[in-house]
Amino acid sequence: MQKIINDKDKVVDESFEGLLLCYEKYWKRHPEVKGIISRTRRKDKVALVIGGGSGHEPIYSCLVGKGLADAAVCGNIFASPDPNSVYQTAKAVDAGKGILFIYGNYAGDNLNFDMGEEFLQADGIKTEHVRGMDDVVSQPPERKEERRGIAGALYMVKIAGAVCDAGLSLEDAKAVMEKTRDSIRSVGVATSGAQLPGADKPIFELPEGMIEYGMGVHGERGVKRVPMEPADTLVDNMMQSIFDDGDYKEGDEVCVYINAFGSTSITEMSIAYRRVRQILAEKGIKVYDSDINNYFRTQEMGGFSITLFTLDDELKKYYDMPCWCPYFSKGSVSADDAAVEDDEEIVPEPEFDDSDVEDAPVVRSKEGVLESLSVEDTKNMLLAVANKIISNVDYLTEIDSQTGDGDHGFGMAGGMQKAKKRLLKMEDLDNAYALFGAAGKAMLLSMGGASGVIFGSMFMSGQDFDPKKELSAEDLAEIEAKALATIQERGGAQVGDKTMVDALAPAVDAMKANAGKGLLEMLKAAEAAAKEGVENSKNCIAKFGRSRSLGERALGYQDAGATSVSLIFEAMREFVEG
């Protein structure tokens, strides 16, 4: 597919730059991270910060303005922003009344925003969050806290902006937003797949005459694949999914939003809206307000979603409050009202060049097998790991595209590039453990997505030990055991949940059992165990991440995170063996 881009690794940076140049009258960027800050924000209220992956514009990045968000933090394409970006962007708009975060309920967003909140709380800043979870078909009612957030995010941001501008306390604002969240229900379908900029093919492909039902907004597959139907029949089924989930009754008042994922036309969505109104009229449900638009895109994916937002008198009050930003407005606020003079010059710090895919130079302290790892050997082993992941970016993208949104390869490669550059600058060290910490922090603060927190934590665990100039097999086994414990504590995944733990846990067990046999034999056993874990992940139903909504449809496909773990142990073994 032809896309109007320059370098696939610079798509987010260049689009972010262009967006801010276009609307510099209303927005400014954070000088260090990809954060968009409103020039018109009030300073005496709870600050509203929203965010998520790029590629969905105008949500979330563009809903910044009067009566809306004070700031938005932006990740890579379909990947959550990293914790540092969350922290820095939110801190920039803190007005002393606390910060309310609104974002979608995805593993990467949850992990990264949680860590960002932890950083803020350590600075004495109060925070709360409410996650959108309006996709009724992604999980049953008894597990609704695991549902994805899709186009209902529009209403979440609209109400949250009004609530914060109304001067509510942080605790009261959270309560209203939890009520809002529970009043929104959505369902989506896809008629064609999305394609990541620079990827060779779409995330998924549909046979002629078939659609994906229960579609998310990251291009991941739906909950089932069904034959294409006439518009009225399709809408009937989608509305029934919403009605089956909610307690709708005659006299209810709702807002209706029909959202196009990217390539679906206003003509098609208008036909769908026509049928929605007929169904609501038959049930005696009143339409308070409605919209047909594409606020939540998935690049050029075909298809649409239907969202119903049930209102009571309190929510009507906040919904009717005016708001304005370049892409969304309600009420009497105009562009001229929203603009203020702000001549403050903000110069972004230079970022690493994500197009650098050259192998980092790897030097070993001696020929043959290494019995232990000096500080320099540790550094070079981690560089070898970075090279391995970067060279397998296309392979990891292909694996992730089978059950997810295809961003794992680019995310892992980007994080490893940051780790590589950080390691190459580190000289005259006397603590091998510090190298793990530096690599992990570089990954965690740059990758975004669930992988950033998970794989960053995997490496950062090495900094928790007393300094050492030389690492033995037992030391390396302790690092990976600590990494596994940290990852499971933070994310909760167990073996069999179709995550990277499926490879890491057996590898750690193998390291513990073989540490006494020396570094090489231990890593051989760990590599073999990790590869077996990758194979075993094909037989698992996902309980975390984007693929969890697929259920049994994910069977037969290996987990991308587990695959990365296997490659990491392979690189470590290759380095030690020489």
Contact 455, 560 (CB under 8 A): no
- Angstrom distance (rounded) from CA 329 to CA 267: 22
Contact 222, 190 (CB under 8 A): yes
- Other Cβ atoms closer than 10 A to 205: 11
Pairing type for strands 184-192 and 302-311 reads antiparallel
Tokens coding 13? 């940076």
Side-chain-facing half-sphere of 441: CA atoms under 13 Å = 11
The per-residue b/e assignment along 415-438, b for 16 or more CB within 10 angstroms, e otherwise, is: bbbbbbebbeeeeebebbbbbbbb
Q: Position of tokens 């390539």?
A: 263
Determine the distance from the C-alpha atom of residue 255 to the mean position of all C-alpha atoms in its chain, rounded to a whole number. 27
Q: Check residue 135 and report its DSSP letter.
A: B
Catalytic residues: 56, 218
- Angstrom distance (rounded) from CA 235 to CA 240: 8
- Angstrom distance (rounded) from CA 210 to CA 221: 13
- Angstrom distance (rounded) from CA 170 to CA 136: 28
Contact 383, 361 (CB under 8 A): yes
Which residues is 307 bridged to in the sheet?
A: 186, 257
Contact 354, 198 (CB under 8 A): no
Contact 12, 77 (CB under 8 A): yes
Tokens coding 185? 């229900």
